[in-house]
């Protein structure tokens, strides 16, 4: 069976030209030069002439036009009264619902038809979200990794605000895109945290990536991942990232995750993507650095952003796991709309 319909929020009129961020405290110097953020492990050395040529000449429609989803049970309003009980649902791309006891967290929520500033141009989703907007439980907080259009969709965020009024936890500078719409935004630098409740703390952690929604704001806002830390382990949402030593540092500072949500898609051509997007082999290396009880793949199967076939991320992940002797139950992928109880 396929899902017959699902809600798409109406695209907002853009009001997102970034003004210069006004930080309450100066960001850490190891990833901020006074006006722009950068990756401290390695500077972006991509050949931008080759990148531009690829963008202009690539075949953009090699994926299927439309894919259907299986039907799964819908999430309950809360998973448990006990914060020891966890469940993760894969909505699609980098959107996941993390249920920890009574709390519901939503990562990088995008229900829009396209991840683009334009309603009729840009990468178009090839499958519906696995959970319709109306099927969501009350969302207590949005974990927003960075400001690219396949991760920050203002129309979806406005829908969530109208329905649930969640706090948005994100990196420095991203509030400039959201506060004009009246959203409640908490901005954090890498390694800063926000006390969400008595037993849950939200940490903003490093990622190897970049930011920007237009021609004038490249790297003016911070990118990263987020971890939901509890007395019973932490759930790491790695955001959008290339592979780097930050995974080992996350483990050193926060311990091995109970579950790690790791990107596995958007990685070809490798020469142009390796510094900002992990491929499945990189994701396996990140899994080994983090040593989580379980990893789940994300950032695949919804929008054609790069050149690999739609089926390649899962295939390549399985091959990389086999090379390193990682059992299938240690690093899994879920189908859109599927939920998994986290042991």
β-pair partners for 195: 201
In a domain, 117, yes or no: yes
Stretch 57-81: mean pLDDT: 92
In a domain, 7, yes or no: no
User: Please, what is the Cα angle at 160 between 156 and 162, to 5 degrees?
Assistant: 115
In a domain, 37, yes or no: no
Residues 152-186 pLDDT 10s: 999 999 999 999 999 999 999 999 999 989 999 99
Q: What is the extent of the structural domain holding 281?
A: 72-342
Residues 279-300 pLDDT 10s: 999 999 999 999 999 999 999 9
Stretch 69-87: mean pLDDT: 97
Stretch 223-248: mean pLDDT: 98
Stretch 64-81: mean pLDDT: 96
What is the pLDDT, as a whole number, of residue 9? 64
What is the pLDDT, as a whole number, of residue 19? 53
In a domain, 58, yes or no: no
Residue 109 has pLDDT above 80, yes or no: yes
Number of independent structural domains in the chain: 1
Nearest one of 118, 87, 113 to 101, comparing CA atoms:
87
In a domain, 16, yes or no: no
For all residues of the chain together, what is the average pLDDT? 92
Token pair 């759930």 is at which residue? 235
Structure tokens at 305: 């952003």
What is the pLDDT, as a whole number, of residue 309? 96
In a domain, 96, yes or no: yes
In a domain, 178, yes or no: yes
228: CATH: 3.60.15.10
CB 251 within 8 A of CB 233: no
In a domain, 90, yes or no: yes
């Amino acid at each position: 069976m396929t899902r017959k319909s699902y809600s798409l929020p109406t695209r907002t009129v853009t009001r997102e030209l970034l003004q210069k961020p006004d930080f309450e405290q100066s960001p850490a110097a190891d990833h901020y030069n006074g006006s722009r953020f950068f990756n401290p492990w390695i500077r972006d050395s991509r050949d931008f002439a080759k990148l531009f040529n690829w963008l202009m000449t690539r075949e953009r429609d090699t994926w299927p036009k439309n894919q259907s989803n299986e039907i799964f049970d819908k999430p309950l309003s809360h998973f448990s009264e006990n914060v020891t009980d966890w469940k993760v649902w894969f909505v699609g791309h980098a959107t996941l619902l993390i249920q920890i006891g009574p709390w519901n967290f939503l990562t990088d929520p995008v229900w829009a038809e396209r991840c683009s500033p334009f309603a009729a141009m840009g990468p178009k989703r090839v499958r519906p979200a696995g959970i319709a907007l109306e099927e969501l439980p009350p969302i207590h907080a949005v974990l927003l990794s960075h400001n690219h259009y396949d991760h920050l969709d203002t129309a979806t965020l406005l829908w969530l605000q109208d329905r649930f009024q969640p706090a948005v936890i994100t990196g420095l500078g991203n509030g400039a895109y959201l506060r004009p719409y009246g959203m409640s935004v908490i901005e954090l630098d890498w390694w800063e945290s926000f006390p969400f409740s008595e037993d849950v703390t939200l940490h903003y952690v490093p990622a190897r990536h970049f930011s920007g929604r237009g021609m004038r704001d490249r790297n003016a806002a911070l990118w990263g991942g987020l971890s939901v830390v509890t007395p019973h382990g932490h759930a790491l949402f790695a955001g959008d990232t290339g592979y780097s030593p930050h995974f080992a540092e996350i483990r050193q500072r926060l311990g091995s995750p109970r579950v790690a949500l790791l990107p596995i898609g958007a990685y070809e051509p490798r020469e142009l993507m390796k510094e900002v997007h992990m491929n499945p082999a990189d994701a396996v290396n990140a899994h080994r650095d983090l040593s989580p009880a379980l990893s789940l793949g994300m950032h695949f199967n919804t929008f054609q952003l790069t050149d690999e076939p739609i089926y390649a991320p899962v295939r390549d992940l399985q091959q990389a796991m086999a090379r390193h002797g990682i059992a299938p139950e240690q690093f899994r992928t879920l189908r859109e709309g599927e939920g998994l109880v986290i042991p």
